[in-house]
Structure 1
Amino acid sequence: MSLVSSSLVSFRRPLYLWNLMIRDSTNNGFFIQTLNIYFSMAHSGVHGNNLTYPLLLKACANLASIQHGTVLHGHVLKLGFQADAFVQTALVDMYSKSSHVESARLVFDEMPHRTVVSWNTMVSAYSRVSSMDQALSLLKEMGVLGFKPTASTFVSILSGYSNLDTFKFRLQGVSIHSCLIKLGIVHREVSLANSLMAMYAQFCRMDEARKVFDLMDEKSIISWTTMIGGYVKIGHAAEAFGLFKQMLRQSVGIDFVVFLNLISGCIQVGELLLASSVHSLVLKCGCDEADSVENLLITMYSKCGNLTFARRIFDLIIEKSMLSWTSMIAGYVHSGHPVEALDLFRRMVKTDTRPNGATLATVLSACADLGSLSMGQEIEEYVFLHGWESEQQVQTSLIHMYSKCGSIKKAREVFEKVTDKDLTVWTSMINSYAIHGMGNEAITLFHKMTTEEGIIPDAIVYTSVLLACSHSGLVEDGLKYFKSMQKDFKIAPTVEHCTCLIDLLGRVGQLDLALDAIQGMPLAVQAQAWGSLLSACRIHGNVELGELATFKLLETSPGRSGSYVLMSNLYTSLGKWKEAHMMRNLIDGKGLVKECGWSQVEVCGSHDTLAAGN
């Protein structure tokens, strides 16, 4: 009786009860259950109404289930809900969130009656796929037809700029802001102001974002997080931490995203005391066990020079993810401990966790730092065995590894096998030629990259080109490229560029020209450049200029023992023993420690480090 009666009762269940079940299931996030209830309802012979289908389409949208969505669209057409704006708007939203924007537009265009919500949904559909021209065109059409856009309309549009950053889109964003100011709603609507700040943060225009933030009537946790994250993104960690202090004074609750931003800020600054303070807050708020936080903490302590703390966090992670292993391996590599990095990698491959491209690229960097060709070839075998040979990040690291291990031929072989070379791959090969003193080959490859392939160079590849010119004594070429990067590509010279230029001029004895070049550089750059000039003075025996370079170095970096040593060596090379002895005494008198030279040799797969004087 019970089974038969239960079945009969379900068949007699009225529509409002089915709708209640569908509503409760959808509102609680049980979207698959929602669809199962509907198909049970349809099987019992009960048809849905204009309250049923928006809920069902919402479930399909959240599941991104285009299959079920099109079936429901057929039912909607069959039951005659084409004129129902509520149902049709839900269809537009379903197609949009299922990545079928064209289908969403077809439904929208066929709607006999549209509401502001309908327009907002279609604008949101275009914004979601960053089709900003279509979204703005729809916004204008909306206004022409007498529909007044709401805060939700602009939130959708502003969110569309989250992955865009070109001059055109920046202008569009500023225009949207102007429109919002005219409407007078930007500072009253928290979500709208947050979206506007997020757009400016994406464009790295934090001054504009700060103006919006300061004028907000009410700030949410997202407001603070957006600003802190924006400052960290552009490298202004001090402003980020200053804002965080204000946030604490306002008694705003701290969320998980705030800690991710603060830890990223600590990674930029590299101050251990600050890092420890942030870690204490993370522990206090109980966010330390989140995988992404743990991995960032490992990176943070590594960047702050405390590998002991980094390893302690790593060891405390019970279920280590691939990112956890990679973070710790990268910490060792970037801190100059390649042997420990390789040991940890060997441990990793014995577990169930498999490395990804980033892990293998990091391990190959460790092999490059060691100069271990045998270990590099072993890692390459692993790469081929597990199908990573087509990963560009791995290919780039293989080129670098073979180059640093002395096999420029193998580096070129890897380079030639890369099918779709990006700027990073070209830069890696050009740099390989540079460090091997193959200046003409580097310049030829650079010319091929820019003229034949049409790839626009950046500051990094120009560093490699100038390095190649320096190591090969190509003075005219070096000067030409130093000027061309500024004139043709608007690349401002960095410390690396200037050092390469001085090194180039110094190697060929153009010391007066090198001096003129240094004096024309910004003060922040000069400190490194004086060191290159002093080295050149030692090579060419120019005491007078060497003394000037030493004076300038001691003025800018008084704690560097290397400057005293270089000048002492210059005096020694010219037989000025008294002056050399005086410079050596200055090192002892100032309590400076000269870092001894060292060499590393590989014997039967193991690596030994030999320090000078031992």
Structure 2
Amino acid sequence: MKIAGHPTLSYLPFFHRHRQTWPRCPSISPQPLSGLSSNTLTTSSLTKRVVGSLISINPKTAFQAYLETCVSLLKNFSNQGLAREGRILHAHLLKMGVSSNRYIAIKLLIMYLNCKKTLDVDRILKELGEFDIVAWNCMISAHIENGNLEGARRLFDEMPKRNEVSWTALIAGFMKFGRVDDSMWYFERNPFQNVVSWTAAISGFVQNGLNFDALKLFQEMLESGILPNEVTFTSLVRACTSLGDTGLGRSVFGLIVKTGFEHNISVCNSLITLHLRMGEVDLARMVFDQMEERDVVSWTASIDLYIKTGDLMEARRIFDEMPERNEVSWSMMIARYNQSGEAEEASKLFKRMVHNGFKPNISCLSSILSALASLEALLPGKSIHGHAIKVGIEKDVFIGSTLIDMYCKCGQTLDGRQAFDSISDRNLVSWNSMVAGYSLNGQLEEAKELFEQIPKRNIVSWNTIVAGYVQNEHCEHVLEVFNEMLLSGEIPNQSTFSSVLRACASLASIEKGRNLHGKIIKLGIQQDVFVGTALTDMYAKSGDIVSSKSVFNRMPEKNEISWAAMIQGLADNGFAEDSLILFEEMKRSARVAPTELVFLAVLFACAHCGLVDKGFQYFESMERIYGIKPRGRHYTCMVDMLARSGRLSEAEKFIEAMPFQPEANAWAALLSGCSIYKNEDMAERTARKLWELMEENSAGYILLSNIYASVGRWNDVSKVRKLMREKGLKKIGGCSWVEVRNQVHSFYCEDGCHTQSAEIYGILELLMSEMMVFQNLQS
């Protein structure tokens, strides 16, 4: 036998005569190339490894080991698409006279099919000579894998004979691409009606969301006398999961037990998922505990089990003890940490995942970008962005949307906009993310401009722009946008009303708030806890404490924010003692534990009714009883409490003893106390501290100036005001507003911006002149 480019070979007849009689050499095992990839080795080094792997085995004495090594190499090249390296191995096999071995030839065919090398495929088919059903089935599968269904059909029709693999390949292939009718045409004409073909059709129905059809076909299968296998049951359980039918799922489970598949790994994994989706956590745990053998999917499902019960710590323990992990288990833990607000832990876990050699998928990258956005970690976020560009997924809408969020939360709206512009197929999430990003950074003009460009807005779009105006305290624009929303036909939801009511609370616009309350009742969402909380807060801040209490008392469910709003509202309206009584009632109810926000409202109430000792009791109980570490705002509230009561020395010592840098507001509270009790020396010390923290704020200067003025130190007043002028500081003008015919009109000192300012000042001058006349008459 002669091979072009190679010397005469005489091994081939020898192999054919003796390959069945040679003993297997157990000391020599096949040498797979699992560690080799085009990313880690150069072509030359890979070639040397390929040849070296085979040279180390003597085919005359260990043909089976030689054959298995060849197959392992071909499988690796096929999976990684390494056609060049595959050709090198093919040349070696030709040289050794092994390429005509049918088993090797089929593996070569599969490799060239996967690498889409048509000429090499034709060459292998010619070498095989006569019709080979396995080779034809491989080609049909390759055509289906590449989406060429018509090519697969043509090959099938040209086959002189077919087996069950041929028919099942077409049934499954057409199902895979959603061509259910074509698939069933072949299924109904299939002469090999066995469990494999039935299962292919049933699984195909489930893949295409036709779960009832899958169950009907399963019933026909049982009636025809065909017994299901583990793949059939796995598909059936998935159908029950998608349908959300607990009773049907239990029936299938009974059949699984009856046919002896209750310990099969894949069946048990699907049952765990079914029970979790149905909320039957105990049953899911029972299935997991009774499994005789578990794989990585089983362990991942058990992690999901504990996450569903809210036990993230136990889920992490299971994760750390897993004998094997995959990308799904890593991604699941990272996502759960991020969703639970533990972004730092999510970031650490992601670093471990990458260090251990796992490749994050799109879902995982989206989760870690969200975590980095929460941490405002710009540099790591840019690194992830670079990786996304490298692997070509930066235009994916999910990655793009999280990149927008990450950049905008780090204050980089230009980079966020670039990420937005790079998304090839934007959806509403990406549009809304960019609008929210602009709003977050106070760029309301850009946010509104982009909002106007959204092709088709939804309720989230409207809520995003409304929330943006509220966050930036442009409350007068909130009502304008809300009216636009109503005119567009969009129906507001709970989130919309929460934001708009917050704006009404800031404007003390009680009439508008009452109108909104009427709309809320009309839409039937007054029972919602967030809406109820917003109404409670709006009425309290508008001075209608009776309506506030009425809404609060009617709420069927209250959370910590609801309680805090009512406690704060009572204190703000002069009912500080009632607010403390309400707090005690909250503690007795034992339904809601006190939080940082609730304690802040309580300390505020104590400050306003002069209950300093009681305030200290509450302050000390935060960490001692409830495990809540006081933050800067709580310390500031305590300073305010002491300063209001005239205990200025204690307040000063309290600030100096703080475990962290005091807030500027703490010094401002003390300075305000100095103003009330006319303590000039302490006021000067406090003012200097406040100036250091708030160099560009006039509040400290104004307070000190007022203190000097109250005791007649006019020279010092002049010095402070001169210092303000040198620093370019001005007193922020007071603002007042009035609501006329559902429109809010704002006014500042000596403000001429209002459209009717000339008429307003004219009326004001007329009133003043009439008052002067009246005063003269009285005198």
Alpha-carbon distance between aligned partners in 2 of 1:475 and 1:24, rounded to the nearest angstrom = 77
SS in 1 for 2:661: helix
Distance 1:348 1:430, change over 3 A: same
Q: Tell me, yes or no, if the aligned pair for 2:306 and 2:314 is still in contact at 8 Å.
A: no
**Counterpart residue number, 1:117:** 266
Match of 2:485 among 314, 336, 348: 348
- Aligned pairs, how many? 580
**Counterpart residue number, 1:213:** 353
* 1:582-612 CA-partner distances (Å, limit 9, x unpaired): 1111111122343222222224433222223
Given the alignment of the two structures, is residue 243 of structure 1 paired with residue 383 of structure 2, yes or no? Answer: yes
Given the alignment of the two structures, is residue 280 of structure 1 paired with residue 418 of structure 2, yes or no? Answer: yes
CA drift at 1:279: 0.7
Alpha-carbon distance between aligned partners in 2 of 1:583 and 1:259, rounded to the nearest angstrom = 52
Amino acid at match of 1:588: R
Alpha-carbon distance between aligned partners in 2 of 1:471 and 1:605, rounded to the nearest angstrom = 34
CA drift at 1:124: 3.7
* 1:519-556 CA-partner distances (Å, limit 9, x unpaired): 22233344331121111111111112212211222223
Distance 1:432 1:514, change over 3 A: same
CA drift at 1:371: 0.9
**Counterpart residue number, 2:302:** 157
CA drift at 1:253: 2.6
Distance 1:535 1:163, change over 3 A: farther
Q: Tell me, yes or no, if the aligned pair for 1:303 and 1:331 is still in contact at 8 Å.
A: yes
Given the alignment of the two structures, is residue 179 of structure 1 paired with residue 322 of structure 2, yes or no? Answer: yes
Amino acid at match of 1:536: G
CA drift at 1:379: 1.3
* 1:561-594 CA-partner distances (Å, limit 9, x unpaired): 2222221121112211111211111111122343
SS in 1 for 2:696: coil
Alpha-carbon distance between aligned partners in 1 of 2:217 and 2:563, rounded to the nearest angstrom = 51
Alpha-carbon distance between aligned partners in 2 of 1:96 and 1:487, rounded to the nearest angstrom = 46
* 1:99-136 CA-partner distances (Å, limit 9, x unpaired): 33544543443342454322333344345567666556
Distance 1:307 1:130, change over 3 A: same
Note the 1:433-444 alignment, pairs <5 A. Answer: 433-444=570-581
Note the 1:274-313 alignment, pairs <5 A. Answer: 274-286=412-424, 289-313=426-450
Distance 1:163 1:92, change over 3 A: closer
Range with greater deviation from structure 2 (334-343 or 190-199)? 190-199
Amino acid at match of 1:334: Q
Distance 1:111 1:196, change over 3 A: farther
SS in 1 for 2:359: coil
Match of 1:368 among 475, 482, 505: 505
Alpha-carbon distance between aligned partners in 2 of 1:584 and 1:543, rounded to the nearest angstrom = 17
- Higher-Rg member (1/2): 2
Amino acid at match of 1:175: I
Question: TM-score, normalised on structure 1?
Answer: 0.85
Q: Tell me, yes or no, if the aligned pair for 1:396 and 1:424 is still in contact at 8 Å.
A: yes
Q: Tell me, yes or no, if the aligned pair for 2:378 and 2:407 is still in contact at 8 Å.
A: no
Q: Where in structure 1 are there 5+ consecutive unaligned residues?
A: 1-13
Distance 1:297 1:132, change over 3 A: same
**Counterpart residue number, 2:697:** 560
Range with greater deviation from structure 2 (579-588 or 58-67)? 58-67
Q: Tell me, yes or no, if the aligned pair for 2:172 and 2:204 is still in contact at 8 Å.
A: no
Distance 1:65 1:83, change over 3 A: closer
**Counterpart residue number, 1:9:** none
**Counterpart residue number, 1:467:** 604
Q: Tell me, yes or no, if the aligned pair for 2:738 and 2:745 is still in contact at 8 Å.
A: yes
**Counterpart residue number, 1:491:** 628
Alpha-carbon distance between aligned partners in 1 of 2:571 and 2:317, rounded to the nearest angstrom = 44
CA drift at 1:372: 1.0
Distance 1:439 1:104, change over 3 A: farther
SS in 2 for 1:524: coil
**Counterpart residue number, 1:106:** 254
Alpha-carbon distance between aligned partners in 2 of 1:198 and 1:411, rounded to the nearest angstrom = 39
Q: Tell me, yes or no, if the aligned pair for 1:193 and 1:212 is still in contact at 8 Å.
A: no
Distance 1:570 1:107, change over 3 A: farther
Question: Cα RMSD between the aligned structures?
Answer: 3.2
Amino acid at match of 2:372: Y
Q: Tell me, yes or no, if the aligned pair for 2:708 and 2:714 is still in contact at 8 Å.
A: yes
Range with greater deviation from structure 2 (326-335 or 237-246)? 237-246
Note the 1:541-552 alignment, pairs <5 A. Answer: 541-552=678-689
Question: TM-score, normalised on structure 2?
Answer: 0.68
CA drift at 1:349: 1.0
Match of 2:409 among 260, 268, 277: 268
CA drift at 1:507: 1.1
Alpha-carbon distance between aligned partners in 2 of 1:213 and 1:239, rounded to the nearest angstrom = 19
Q: Tell me, yes or no, if the aligned pair for 1:600 and 1:609 is still in contact at 8 Å.
A: yes
CA drift at 1:20: 6.7
Given the alignment of the two structures, is residue 524 of structure 1 paired with residue 669 of structure 2, yes or no? Answer: no
Match of 2:456 among 319, 326, 344: 319
Higher relative contact order (CA 8 A, sep 6+): 1
CA drift at 1:352: 2.3
SS in 2 for 1:609: strand
Match of 2:735 among 595, 598, 601: 598
Alpha-carbon distance between aligned partners in 2 of 1:230 and 1:525, rounded to the nearest angstrom = 29
Range with greater deviation from structure 2 (123-132 or 530-539)? 123-132
Alpha-carbon distance between aligned partners in 2 of 1:383 and 1:61, rounded to the nearest angstrom = 42
CA drift at 1:301: 0.9
Range with greater deviation from structure 2 (60-69 or 89-98)? 60-69
Amino acid at match of 1:358: S
Q: Tell me, yes or no, if the aligned pair for 1:190 and 1:216 is still in contact at 8 Å.
A: no
Alpha-carbon distance between aligned partners in 1 of 2:560 and 2:531, rounded to the nearest angstrom = 14
* 1:211-232 CA-partner distances (Å, limit 9, x unpaired): 4234132524434333222333
Q: Tell me, yes or no, if the aligned pair for 2:335 and 2:346 is still in contact at 8 Å.
A: no
SS in 2 for 1:350: helix
CA drift at 1:366: 1.5
Q: Tell me, yes or no, if the aligned pair for 2:369 and 2:406 is still in contact at 8 Å.
A: no
CA drift at 1:86: 2.9
Q: Tell me, yes or no, if the aligned pair for 1:338 and 1:367 is still in contact at 8 Å.
A: yes
SS in 2 for 1:523: coil
CA drift at 1:241: 2.4
Alpha-carbon distance between aligned partners in 2 of 1:485 and 1:64, rounded to the nearest angstrom = 53
Q: Where in structure 2 are there 5+ consecutive unaligned residues?
A: 1-162, 752-779
Distance 1:428 1:377, change over 3 A: same
Percent identity (aligned): 24
Amino acid at match of 2:749: A
**Counterpart residue number, 2:652:** 515
